[in-house]
């Protein structure tokens, strides 16, 4: 019989989980104090001794770690093990500055495979599945992370990586891929290409997908599901903490379970650093408690989310995070109003006349911020129907204004003119600061 959970810890009562977290936390703090000069200095400055940290409640005594700290200690300065124990390096490219370099011991790789296997099991995968991995293989953690997860559960990994979309579809058809792992934007693109190639979803065996690495909305989930005839699930992670599998969606699809026996989450106010009570929205912060090569204390993810310990119908007791609502640093401030690209996406996806491919262009004209949303018309919307297009544009503008609280210009472009991405989609051009997200 297919396993419902990968590891019984996923259903442990909270008091057991808390005891495990507390034990692992105090052990980890002792280890970083002894092995990472950066943390020893920070703790000394704050007057905190490793023996002060006995339980998860003591977390708030500890300092935050920022992406900048990783850059300042580039490439290996925060590693807690000698390099001869590091068996793998990954890195994440930033929009600015140096790459963030992360490392793994053999045990870290083992745990990563385990948490990715938990995510795959939660969507109903088992050893009979063919896991088609179209995340990039390389320094990016997506490809190898999901690959090792598939192998850990004895499924068959298909390391398709990115690129050559038509060939990917051929592989899916011929090799019998049943589970798809890629970014949600690439899943959409694969679905569209399949449609253009005249391949019916019934000709392939895909039944579920694990999509992450970028924010996506419920509406996008519906589109992927109907294009590919599969169940689309979310998977969250970040290289600094591990890679894909830090949190994963179960069949209930009401938030993502965090593998909290390895990564303790907190939600804080991003401005004051104050820890917020369960249910409030703020910045997600993680403390790794089992990582050997690169343990991080209270790492500021910049992702905005909420946490909840509400009972989950799937039976897992692991705490859940909401889908990330955006990043505290990709949040756009347009004419003083906070705008998340995901809000714009939600509105666009309510309009069947347009496709989910869009570009948000923010500029400043005569000292005034401007917001333009360029969006592709759906392939079956005739571009020459000027009158009906005018009506759509008016309705879309009104919907955007009521959701965002500011006016946006809407520009329709022909189908397939907005650049497709095989990895994370680039959806915002902020000409005010020359930032490309
Ligand atoms: O994107 C790891 C990953 C690979 C996750 C494959 C899921 C699937 P980084 O390149 O370090 O790592 O980027 C991490 O991507 O802080 C979020 O802002 C964003 N992100 C990742 N997953 C999701 C998701 C990988 N499911 C950053 N929803 C994170 C929204 C996500 N944002």
For the chain, domain boundaries: 8-329, 334-430
Whether pTM > 0.75 for this model: the answer is: yes
User: Does 162 contact ligand 1 (Cβ within 6 A)?
Assistant: no
Is the four-CA dihedral 41, 43, 47, 48 of positive or negative sign?
negative
User: Does 156 contact ligand 1 (Cβ within 6 A)?
Assistant: no
Q: Cα–Cα distance between 42 and 36 in angstroms, integer?
A: 10
- The pLDDT tens digits along the chain (437 residues) read 578 999 999 999 999 999 999 999 999 999 999 999 999 999 999 999 999 999 999 999 999 999 889 989 999 999 999 999 999 999 986 433 467 899 999 999 999 999 999 999 999 999 999 999 999 999 999 999 999 999 999 999 999 999 899 999 999 999 999 999 999 989 988 998 999 999 999 999 999 999 999 878 888 899 999 999 999 999 999 999 999 999 999 999 999 999 999 999 999 999 999 999 999 999 999 999 999 999 999 999 999 999 999 999 999 999 999 999 877 777 787 876 778 888 899 899 999 999 989 999 999 887 778 999 999 998 887 766 767 889 999 999 999 999 888 899 999 999 999 988 888 888 999 888 543 33
* Residue 93 pLDDT: 62
Q: Which CATH architecture has domain 8-329?
A: 3-Layer(aba) Sandwich (3.40)
* Residue 421 pLDDT: 83
The Cα-based distances of 232 to 65, 124, 159, 266 in angstroms read: 33, 12, 20, 27
* Residue 384 pLDDT: 66
Of the CA atoms within 13 Å of residue 74, those in its CB half-sphere come to: 11
Q: To test ligand 1's pocket by mutation, which of 67, 212, 239 has the most ligand atoms within 8 angstroms of CB? A: 212
Angle at 254 between CA 250 and CA 255, to 5 degrees: 80
CB neighbours of 173 closer than 8 A, spacing ≥ 6?
A: 199, 203, 204
Under 8 Å between Cβ of 25 and 289? yes
User: Does 287 contact ligand 1 (Cβ within 6 A)?
Assistant: no
* Residue 24 pLDDT: 98
User: Does 239 contact ligand 1 (Cβ within 6 A)?
Assistant: yes
Tokens matching residue 80: 């807690």
User: Does 212 contact ligand 1 (Cβ within 6 A)?
Assistant: yes
User: Does 215 contact ligand 1 (Cβ within 6 A)?
Assistant: yes
CB neighbours of 265 closer than 8 A, spacing ≥ 6?
A: 258, 284, 285, 286, 307, 319, 321
Q: Cα–Cα distance between 5 and 124 in angstroms, integer?
A: 9
* Residue 94 pLDDT: 46
Per CATH, the number for 334-430 is 3.30.300.30
- Return the residue whose CA atom lies nearest to atom 18 of ligand 1: 303
What does the DSSP assignment read for 384-420?
T-HHHHHHHHHHHHHHHHHHHSS--EEEEE-TT-SPP
Q: Cα–Cα distance between 79 and 77 in angstroms, integer?
A: 6
CA of 186 to the centre of ligand 1 (A): 14
* Residue 171 pLDDT: 97
- Return the residue whose CA atom lies nearest to atom 1 of ligand 1: 213
CA of 162 to the centre of ligand 1 (A): 16
User: Does 135 contact ligand 1 (Cβ within 6 A)?
Assistant: yes
Tokens matching residue 429: 């051009």
User: Does 249 contact ligand 1 (Cβ within 6 A)?
Assistant: no
User: Does 265 contact ligand 1 (Cβ within 6 A)?
Assistant: no
Bridge partners of residue 364, in order along the sequence: 369
Cis peptide before 171 (omega within 30 of 0): no
* Residue 236 pLDDT: 97
């Amino acid at each position: 019989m297919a396993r419902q959970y990968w590891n019984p810890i996923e259903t442990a009562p909270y008091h057991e989980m808390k005891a495990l977290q507390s034990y692992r936390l105090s052990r980890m703090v002792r280890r970083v104090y002894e092995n990472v000069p950066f943390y020893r200095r920070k703790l000394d400055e704050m007057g905190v001794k490793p023996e002060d940290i006995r339980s998860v409640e003591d977390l708030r005594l500890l300092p935050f770690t920022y992406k900048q700290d990783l850059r300042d200690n580039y490439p290996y300065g925060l590693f807690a093990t000698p390099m001869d124990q590091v068996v793998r390096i990954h890195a994440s490219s930033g929009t600015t500055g140096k790459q963030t370099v992360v490392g793994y011991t053999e045990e870290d790789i083992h745990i990563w495979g385990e948490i990715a296997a938990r995510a795959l099991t939660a969507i109903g995968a088992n050893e009979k599945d063919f896991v088609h991995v179209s995340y990039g293989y390389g320094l990016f953690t997506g490809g190898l992370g999901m690959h090792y997860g598939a192998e850990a559960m004895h499924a068959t990994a298909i390391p398709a990586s990115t690129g050559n979309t038509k060939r990917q579809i051929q592989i899916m058809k011929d090799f019998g891929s049943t589970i798809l792992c890629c970014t949600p934007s690439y899943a959409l693109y694969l679905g569209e290409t399949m449609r253009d190639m005249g391949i019916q979803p019934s000709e392939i065996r895909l039944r579920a997908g694990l999509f992450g690495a970028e924010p996506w909305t419920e509406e996008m989930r519906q589109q992927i599901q109907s294009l590919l005839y599969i169940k689309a699930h979310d998977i969250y992670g970040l290289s600094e903490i591990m890679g894909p599998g830090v949190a994963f969606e179960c069949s209930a699809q009401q938030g993502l379970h965090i593998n909290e026996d390895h990564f303790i989450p907190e939600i804080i106010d991003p401005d004051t650093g104050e820890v917020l009570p369960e249910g409030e929205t703020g910045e997600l912060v993680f403390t790794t408690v089992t990582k050997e090569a690169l343990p991080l204390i209270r790492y500021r993810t910049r992702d905005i989310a909420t946490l909840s310990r509400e009972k989950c119908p799937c039976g897992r007791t692991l705490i859940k995070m909401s889908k990330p609502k955006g990043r505290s640093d990709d949040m756009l401030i347009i004419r003083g109003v906070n705008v998340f690209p995901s809000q714009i996406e939600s509105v666009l996806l309510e309009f069947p006349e347009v496709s989910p491919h869009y570009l948000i262009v923010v500029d400043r004209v005569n000292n005034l911020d401007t917001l333009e949303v360029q969006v592709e018309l759906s392939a079956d919307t005739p571009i020459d129907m000027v009158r009906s297009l005018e009506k759509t544009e008016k309705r879309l503008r009104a919907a955007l204004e009521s959701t965002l609280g500011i006016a946006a210009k809407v520009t329709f472009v022909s189908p397939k003119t907005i650049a497709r991405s095989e990895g994370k989609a680039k959806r915002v051009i902020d000409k005010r600061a020359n930032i490309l997200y």
